[in-house]
Amino acid sequence: MQITIHNAPLQLEHPFKLSYGTTTVRKNILVNITHEDFTGTGEAAVVPYYTSTPEGILRYLTDPALGDAIGDDPLLLEDALDRLPSDGPAAARAAVDIALHDLWGQRLGQPLYQLWGLNPARIPQSSYTVTMADDEVAYRERVRAAKGYQLIKLKLGSGSRQNDLQMVRIAREETDAQLCVDVNGGWSAADALAMIPRLAEYDLTFVEQPIARDDFEGWRLLRASLPADRPPLIADESVQGVASVPPLAGIVDGVNIKLAKCGGLRAARQMIALARAYDMQVLIGCMIESSVAVTAAAHLAPMADYADLDGNLLITNDPYRGAVMSRGYLTLPDAPGLGVTPVVD
């Protein structure tokens, strides 16, 4: 099988401002794996606040050992995935995993969701993300731009509790949609203990990653100290791969599973099974990604309680077409594999 790699800089429609900083371009990498007349496509998301870099991802994808690992039979998917080098960036492994799944589905002539026996009608409505802005006028405009979505995710963690509260107040003034918040680890445990009860009046669907990634004592404190009727606490940065799910059992209500964090579709399915075994809720999320990775995640979305699959809607130069979202409702392509097709200029 032949591997080809393409740089895919994704231009954001608005600066993406969250607790880690602000970006306007994400330098993602696309992978094509070709066998005979079929080509599978995958994507590696390059996330500035994670440790993976474009250089590290490219080293993994251009290593001659990778070609030996994937073998020469796309139908032997599990064997190929078992042989993938495990010491590279998770985003690079995810790109290869997605491409191999796409190729597998194409060779079998079925969409991935059908091969897994999943019902696309069970995909939960996706949230739409509103990032922080530099002033109130701009922030109100961003909230208004999300009109029509029934679940809006507000990025918090501005460094000021007052500013964070004000953003939620503004959002409630501007929309009747259900709200959830994502702090990206921007609060201390003390901040979270103060903020979450104050946000209770807004009837939040969930609070995502209020505290730092490795603050497990903080998670335990929140679980023990907050009232029982608090919104669900969803871990994102704290949960990276399969092995990170069990330590969170009993201290969070749910996990945000992203392909770029865990290494692809197979690992994501394993994480969903583990989360269910520990009675956790599941959120299927994404990074800033094109329709390739977002569509891949959408094929798993019928297994989730929540979806946050709007990454491709936040960019202006999506190189592929795939899953389509209308007012939060996702429609999967009715084509083999991922079902994505390149955009032709």
If you write DSSP's letter for every residue of 215-279 in order, what string do you get? -HHHHHHHHHHS-TTSPPEEESTT--SGGGSGGGTTT-SEEEE-HHHHTSHHHHHHHHHHHHHTT
Please tell me the predicted confidence (pLDDT) of residue 170. Answer: 97
DSSP secondary structure letters along 149-184: -SEEEEE---S-HHHHHHHHHHHHHH--SEEEEE-T
Residue 190 to residue 73: CA distance in whole angstroms: 54
* Ranges under pLDDT 50 in the chain: none
Q: What is the pLDDT of residue 17?
A: 79
Report DSSP state, residue 220: H
In single-letter form, the type of residue at position 139 comes to Y
Tally Cβ neighbours within 10 Å of residue 195: 20
Q: What CA–CA distance (Å, rounded) separates 333 from 331? A: 7
Least Cα distance to 96 among 48, 63, 49, 50 occurs for 63
Q: Is 326 exposed, middle or buried (0-12, 13-18, 19+ CB in 10 A)?
A: exposed
| Separation CA 318–CA 339 (nearest Å) | 15
Which superfamily does CATH assign the domain made up of 2-109 to?
Enolase-like, N-terminal domain (3.30.390.10)
> With contact defined as beta carbons under 8 Å apart, do 233 and 243 qualify?
no
The superfamily in CATH containing domain 114-342 is: Enolase-like C-terminal domain (3.20.20.120)
Determine the pLDDT at residue 3. Answer: 97
User: Are both 2-109 and 114-342 of the same fold?
Assistant: no
pTM of the model: 0.96
Strand 128-130 and strand 38-44: pairing?
A: unpaired
- Predicted local confidence at residue 20, as pLDDT: 75
How far, in Å, CA of 340 to CA of 322, rounded? Answer: 4
Domain regions of the chain by residue span: 2-109, 114-342
Phi and psi based region of residue 206 (left: phi greater than 0; alpha: psi -120 to 50; beta: remaining): beta
Q: Rounded CA gap, 319 and 16, in Å?
A: 19
Residue carrying structure tokens 């995958």: 42
- Could you give the CA distance from residue 49 to residue 21 in angstroms, rounded to a whole number? 9
As given in the structure block, the two tokens for residue 143 are 């909230």
